[in-house]
Chain A
Amino acid sequence: MSLETFSAPRSGAKSRTNFEMLSWLFMRISGVVLVFLVLGHLLIMNILDGGVQRINFGFVAGRWASPFWQIWDLLQLWLAIIHGTNGLRTIIADYAPQKPGRQVRFWLQTVLMISAVFVLFAGTLVIFTFDPTIG
């Protein structure tokens, strides 16, 4: 059996624009950074030192007292949301039908973008305005 090799990408004309090339590059660069940020996050939050059982408000307050974890979480939030939203955008573009008058794809993309912006805004606001003395 001979080894198979890949032919040139067969996706359509859409992927030839500069935006799609930058999107492709962003997925790989953000992906590498997220491997460290997210696996580190999961290791600390779920596995080390009792994992999820020890997490409560005080635990979060203790972590966000340090700029290191604030920056970690902020970078992780932005990269993960943009990486994930871009992935979902691609998947919707691949599978959602584009029927005249139905606009399924348009509405799915719109709901995706609104959700992403809302969650990004909420998460960023919480990291920047966190108050350990609340309540």
Chain B
Amino acid sequence: MASGTLYRGREGMWSWVAHRITGVAVYLFLLVHVLDTALVRVDPNLYDTVIASYKTPIVNLLEVGLVAAVLYHALNGIRIILVDFWSKGPRYQRAMLWVVMAIWLVLMVPGAFFMLRHTVEKMLGA
């Protein structure tokens, strides 16, 4: 990192970059998701048809990515709040990022398992 830049690298900067990227991705999905849900007010069959696309293997995989992004954003958001409001937050910001990553992994493994189970079973013909 060049001196004089705001970008200091390492955990502090990269967690912030990831927070922005996951935030934008989740927001764009949110706009689409409110509109697809709004179809319940238009036509039940149309809603069911659109929701059926959420159950296809590729979109199912994208949902795991969505949950991964939301979960990171949520956990890192708590870390940001602790950095801002907890007197020892700034000192432990790096350690807290590793805690965030650990909790993220522990929750994502079973989460991804249950989210993909149906799709995998269907593909294997079970």
Closest residue of B by beta carbon distance from A7: B90
Instruction: Check if A126 is an interface residue, CB within 8 A of chain B.
Output: yes
B57 to chain A, nearest CB (A): 12
**B30, A84: Cβ atoms closer than 8 Å:** yes
**Across-interface contacts of B63 in A (CB, < 8 A):** 46, 52
B65 to chain A, nearest CB (A): 12
A28 to B19, CA, bound (A): 14
**B31, A57: Cβ atoms closer than 8 Å:** no
B110 to chain A, nearest CB (A): 8
**B30, A3: Cβ atoms closer than 8 Å:** no
**Across-interface contacts of A122 in B (CB, < 8 A):** 34-35, 38
Closest residue of A by beta carbon distance from B83: A6
1/0 contact trace for A82-98 toward B, CB 8 Å? 00110110010000000
**Across-interface contacts of A35 in B (CB, < 8 A):** 74, 77-78
**B27, A88: Cβ atoms closer than 8 Å:** yes
**Across-interface contacts of A129 in B (CB, < 8 A):** 41
**Across-interface contacts of A91 in B (CB, < 8 A):** 20, 23-24
Using a Cβ–Cβ cut-off of 8 Å, how many residues does chain A contribute to the interface with B?
44
**A46, B115: Cβ atoms closer than 8 Å:** yes
1/0 contact trace for A22-43 toward B, CB 8 Å? 0000001001101100110010
Instruction: Check if A75 is an interface residue, CB within 8 A of chain B.
Output: no
Closest residue of A by beta carbon distance from B112: A47
Instruction: Check if A18 is an interface residue, CB within 8 A of chain B.
Output: no
A9 to chain B, nearest CB (A): 10
**A126, B37: Cβ atoms closer than 8 Å:** yes
1/0 contact trace for B32-72 toward A, CB 8 Å? 00110110110111011001001100001001000100110
Instruction: Check if B14 is an interface residue, CB within 8 A of chain A.
Output: no
Instruction: Check if A10 is an interface residue, CB within 8 A of chain B.
Output: yes
Binding site for A on B (CB under 8 A): 6, 12, 20, 23-24, 26-27, 30-31, 34-35, 37-38, 40-41, 43-45, 47-48, 51, 54-55, 60, 63, 67, 70-71, 74, 77-78, 80-81, 83-85, 90-91, 93, 111, 114-115, 118
Binding site for B on A (CB under 8 A): 3-6, 10, 28, 31-32, 34-35, 38-39, 42, 46-48, 50-53, 55-57, 60-61, 77, 80-81, 84-85, 87-88, 91, 115, 119, 122-123, 125-126, 129-131, 134-135
Given contacts A52-B115, A134-B41, 8 further A-B contacts (CB under 8 A): A5-B90, A46-B63, A50-B118, A56-B47, A84-B26, A84-B27, A84-B30, A122-B38
